[in-house]
Structure 1
Amino acid sequence: MIEEKDISLERAVLIGVITKEQDEEKSKEYLDELEFLTYTAGGYAIKRFTQKMDMPNPKTFIGTGKIEDVRVFIEENDITTAIFDDELSSAQERNISKILNVKVLDRTNLILDIFAQRAQTSYARTQVELAQCQYLLPRLRGMWTHLERQKGGIGMRGPGETEIETDRRIVRDKIALLKDRIKIIDKQMAVQRGNRGKMVRVALVGYTNVGKSTLMNVISKSDVFAENKLFATLDTTVRKVVIQNLPFLLSDTVGFIRKLPTQLVDSFKSTLDEVREADLLLHVVDISHPNFEEHIASVEKILGEIKSGDKPTIMVFNKIDAYSAEHLDDDDLETERGARHYSLDEWKSTWMSKVGNNALFISALNKKNLEDFKKRVYDEVREIHVTRFPYNQFLYPDYDYEDME
């Protein structure tokens, strides 16, 4: 649990459901992540509410009795925000707001808010604004006062056009404008990538908060913002790195997450061009996280969606200094010893052994095993570079170029 340290943090309750597709353990994992998202956005989770259901209530997401429990708790504990772990429909959001009389957010809305806070460049802000508009469009009924619009109706609507129809037209026009703006920036960035020549490109990918930016700072000796919060890095950063005498480009990309909003996947696909055009991927994994295998699956799923799942990849298991098998009660003799009890050596002998030379175990923060990491990356980049520039004898004096002829 995250400790409340700042009285300025918004007091929130978290709400999730337990279903056939999402059992109690899975629901807890998602709510843990939702709590971290809440903290990242500037809130503090006071209490969690869960309910077992075959499927969420189409009107209020949870049952009438449970929503009443939430309402009473909110009134008695000065809660300002209710956050739901799954995306709410416009009708659900409207109904819940009337009952609870506080700000109601869902996971998608929360992530969009974090992205809006973290966007530093004009490009990132444009992408976030596009995602927000796409999220807002189907939820406009009863929300027209939230939009920036001229007061009065003169010149704002056609004959017989209602306020909601006008608002939809405004948002659709804004979406079209933002898409055009992104296309222009995409062309400029494509030119920049083209100007980099044929240098080998390496991209850091992985779940959010696994240490990609910390690793980027250590390897490139740069100062990329790194923080123990989700989505600390939003804008893609590219640095020229030299290991021994071999230069290459290293990019740090936005972190992935489970239940990533569709709007963000769509609007940020252009940002992930750095991944699509990379020659080598470094898939960074926080091995100290109890659900790191699920994180790997989530990242691989998104890589597949952007047609990058078949690229040469090195698995970089980070935070080995923080890894511990003690997050379950080992003293409970009735608890079956499972994967979460594995030591690091035992993990290495599982499916990780099949990864072979493409699995590395490091601590970017404590710089542990970084020399092995650099050597492995150097060997891989060197092989790609030799294929691309087979006669560069200055870089590779020890290479047998006669075999290339």
Structure 2
Amino acid sequence: MNYQNTLAFAQEQDQNDPLHHFRDKFYFPQVNKQDAIYFCGNSLGLQPKSAQMYIDNEMYKWANLAVEGHFKGEEPWFNYHELLAAGAARVVGAKESEVVIMNQLTVNLHLMLVSFYRPEGKRFKIITEAGAFPSDQYALETQTKFHGFNPDEAVVELYPREGEHTLRNEDILQAIKDNADELALVMMGGINYYTGQVFDMEAITKAGHEAGAIVGFDLAHAAGNVPVKLHDWDVDFAVWCTYKYLNSGPGGTSGVFVHERHANNPDLPRFAGWWGHDASSRFQMKKGFIPMPGAAGWQLSNAQILPLAVHRASLELFDEAGMENLRAKSEKLTGYLEYLINDVHVGKDVLEMITPTDPNARGCQISILVKQNARELFNKLMEAGIIVDYREPNVIRVAPTPLYNSFEEVYRFSEILHKTLEAHQ
């Protein structure tokens, strides 16, 4: 695409954008009595305007039906989680039976590790990316300790080559091959939260299986951001949150994928709970756990209805927009951001983009390493009404999301960035 560093070009792109009207379906925070330029959907997505209606529906049922709301009225709470399965499956490329919305991300990651990190004999190692999000690091560390291993030996962290910021795919695949005899699990993020690098999940899964290992992903920064085909890629399991690109509220609920070859195996070890028990006999209150078929068999407690209601509102917007359409816009929007950052003249030596330039290796996010006065630059951007994200020691993460951000906002961001850099020369 031939980009231009002009307001007229940005506005023309918005006029021709078939998804542009979706921004009217969200609330934007205010800065200086104006809508902020919100490029922080990789941390917390905006609130869909329809979320309140979905919550109010459940509050009405609670007020008027109380406990009877579990079984009476439209959409009883007993099987409310089933209303979200199809939409969630479309977001992550799964069969409806392979997904369930429940709990929160790290709880679900631990539940998956109980079932899928099964060290045996000399196979005890886990491969992951260095600098994974802390929750993943802590989960892998404590799970290996739980099995009696030293995490420094059991968790193999993959680092970029010297002088580089991101992992090369060939190095990941080689590491899997080199550790094949001792490898029990490959567990990585679908996208690295810090650099914004999208990993080749299909190739990693294939290599992990060839090595005799189980393969799982944390899709916290991938779900709702980039196309994912968990079933077709033959991934064993995955987890994700819904409060980032999936716009389902702070601390929102989480999703789980379990491939059908595992999901329909009642003998697979797991930590069981009441809501994962066979629904037809659940209220008989008998001993002896009989798992629900599919991913639903990993549920613990009855569903958190209010967070599910918010997520339902968001999933309907994703269904309306379509992941393919969102991805097509995202590539153009992020490409425009990259173009404009590269077009800066004053202070250009201060900035370094550490996100891959290959559109297939990134999503909405571009991470900018700021070599001087990073925190000061971040503060100035925020004061100017641009909400972005700062990560220590000196990275600003900028994430224009296609569901509610515009080309004009990207242009305005670049204008303010350039003026701010110029003022510090």
Q: TM-score normalised to the size of structure 1?
A: 0.29
Larger radius of gyration: 1
Q: TM-score normalised to the size of structure 2?
A: 0.28
